Structure 1
Amino acid sequence: MATVRAPYRSGSAAEFVDRLQSRGRYGFAVRELVQASGLSTAAAGAQLKRLHPRVKSLYPKSGFYVVVPPEHQANGAPPASWWIDDFFTYHNEPYYIALLSAAAHWGVSHQAAQLTQVMTVTPRRAFTLGRVKISFLSKKALGKTPVVTATGGQTPFKVSTPEATVLDLLRYLKQSGGLPRVLQILNDLASQLRTVEFRKALKAHPEVTLVQRTGFILEALGHQTLSRCAAEALSGQRLHPIPLSSGTPTDAPFHAAWGVYGVLPMEADA
């Protein structure tokens, strides 16, 4: 028996996008349109192409599209946080907003709002949609990192907790803008860090060298309660001498309690 196809409708894609946007969604897979409309994949793609620039393909052959509302036409795309959760749901992969973008979410903004840093399990190439730039970092143990689902904005998305954000910033110093910038962010975030949650974040990031640097920095900045959490995480560990950062000279002061040699930038400038 022949398969009965749904009648072809030239406005199916536009109607689908209208319904999607009315529900507060700005990212979708072409297969969703196919399932909702009965269009073939080719016909769905052709209709979506005619909706440009209101609807844009994330990148060629991605199968994923972003709805661009009028107020974001000048930027060529809405903020990544509006559609990043749909994108990773489409790929069935875990993720979270990380580093400087996570710090900005927690109220500490030291970067261009149009750059979004995302942590993933597998490496991905950075891409740009309009003026919105997305860069990716990968972490094998991503599933252990404490994250929360941010709500109250345009759409929900996953973001690292303030405590996990601090550790990520120190782990990925280069991608976070270097040590001076990270120290400023850490100081601004410190009032939001909770000891119970910080212990959880330390347990999820058991690299001894990271905990050494973190404890030393927190103590040097005067955050004694948090530095004690790092000391607890290092209990029983053998500490090998490590530099504070890659540019630390080998003859810098050594801090035996943490096994770290170097001085914070503000100390060097004093």
Structure 2
Amino acid sequence: MKLSTYIDGLLEKGICSFSGVDAVSALGSGESAVRAALRRLRHKGELAMPVRGFYVIVSPEYRQMGCLPASQFIPALMQYLKEPYYTGLLSAAEFYGAAHQRPQAFQVVTEHSRPGIICGMVKVDFIKRKNASLMPTRDFKTPRGYLKVSTPEVTAFDVVGYPHHAAGLDNVVTVLVELAESLDPAALAAIADLSPVSWAQRLGYLLGFIGETELAEGLAGYVAERKPVPALLSPSHPSHGVRQDPKWRLFPNQSVNPNI
């Protein structure tokens, strides 16, 4: 079997990726010959290799990008890597119409640290969350299958917990303003235990700051029950002279301005 025939067969089944090992096995040829054929198709732009040994079939409309959009190959890639994942932070917010600015990289949350990917013009960043497999997700349909995306509530916790991955605290508040209509107060409280309590303190404070009182109250009871140590709104900023917000046991040590 020729490599082109193998690839056509995958496409007929709606499959847009494969491993080098699978190709060698299916073609029944020597490994060196298959690798050479794979290299030729990569040079022609018909294949891309986001990670070693994993190939993406690049359809003609995406060849100028040099890769498929990340949302179309990430599910297969994570299955290949045997890594629990979900699309998170600003990339998840975009699925809920809450990304004020499109992230420069597609953001994927995983349980282990992984280097980012550059595949043609497509960039993927991985953010480590050791309990990623426990986080609630929703499936979004893409042209190549289904993509796991964090729920709005998980997305809210994540952007607050990883502000450096969300373009800073001002943008975090902007995302929360736009995400608020998708949030459920009971669902927020239900998943609070999956994150550090300081994230609930910050998220509750910021929801109150933007006037989402009902959403904030869903977390206020949780924080009051936990009686956590006082936290900083921004751990990277000084807190000298800042008065504590007693409700959230939080020092609002950074002014925030939504970009809306």
Return the alpha-carbon distance in structure 2 between the equivalents of residues 102 and 64 of structure 1. 24
How is 1:79-228 mapped onto 2 (pairs within 5 angstroms)?
79-112=69-102, 115-205=105-195, 207-228=196-217
Aligned to 1:3: none
Return the alpha-carbon distance in structure 2 between the equivalents of residues 153 and 121 of structure 1. 26
Return the alpha-carbon distance in structure 2 between the equivalents of residues 113 and 19 of structure 1. 35
Q: Structure 1 residues 113 and 20 mapped into 2: Cα distance closer, same or farther (>3 Å)?
A: farther
Structure 1: which 4+ aligned runs deviate by more than 6 Å?
none
Q: Structure 1 residues 230 and 34 mapped into 2: Cα distance closer, same or farther (>3 Å)?
A: same
Contact preservation (8 Å) 1:203, 1:233: no
Gaps of 5+ in 1: 1-8
Q: Name which of structure 1's ranges 218-227 and 107-116 shifts more when overlaid on structure 2.
A: 107-116
Contact preservation (8 Å) 2:90, 2:102: no
Aligned to 1:57: 49
- Verify: 1:265 aligned to 2:252, yes or no: no
Return the alpha-carbon distance in structure 1 between the equivalents of residues 161 and 189 of structure 2. 16
Superposition deviation, residue 260 in structure 1: 1.1
Q: Which amino acid aligns with 2:158?
A: D
Match of 1:56, SS state, is: strand
Return the alpha-carbon distance in structure 1 between the equivalents of residues 79 and 31 of structure 2. 20
Return the alpha-carbon distance in structure 2 between the equivalents of residues 91 and 78 of structure 1. 18
Superposition deviation, residue 48 in structure 1: 1.5
Aligned to 2:62: 72
Greater RCO between the two (CA within 8 Å, min separation 6)? Answer: 2
Q: Structure 1 residues 196 and 99 mapped into 2: Cα distance closer, same or farther (>3 Å)?
A: same
Q: Structure 1 residues 134 and 201 mapped into 2: Cα distance closer, same or farther (>3 Å)?
A: same
Q: Structure 1 residues 237 and 198 mapped into 2: Cα distance closer, same or farther (>3 Å)?
A: closer
Gaps of 5+ in 2: none
Return the alpha-carbon distance in structure 2 between the equivalents of residues 113 and 257 of structure 1. 33
TM (norm. structure 2) is 0.90
How is 1:34-53 mapped onto 2 (pairs within 5 angstroms)?
34-52=24-42, 53=45
Superposition deviation, residue 214 in structure 1: 1.0
Q: Which amino acid aligns with 1:147?
A: T
Aligned to 1:6: none
Contact preservation (8 Å) 2:108, 2:125: yes
Contact preservation (8 Å) 1:149, 1:158: yes
Q: Structure 1 residues 166 and 266 mapped into 2: Cα distance closer, same or farther (>3 Å)?
A: same
Superposition deviation, residue 152 in structure 1: 4.9
Contact preservation (8 Å) 1:146, 1:200: no
Larger radius of gyration: 1
Amino-acid identity (%): 30
Superposition deviation, residue 264 in structure 1: 4.3
Aligned to 2:240: 250
Deviations along 1:124-177, whole A, 9 cap, x unmatched? 111201110011111111122111222254321111111100100000011111
Count residues with an aligned counterpart.
254
Contact preservation (8 Å) 1:215, 1:228: yes
Q: Structure 1 residues 159 and 218 mapped into 2: Cα distance closer, same or farther (>3 Å)?
A: same
Match of 2:148, SS state, is: strand
* CA-atom RMSD in angstroms: 1.9
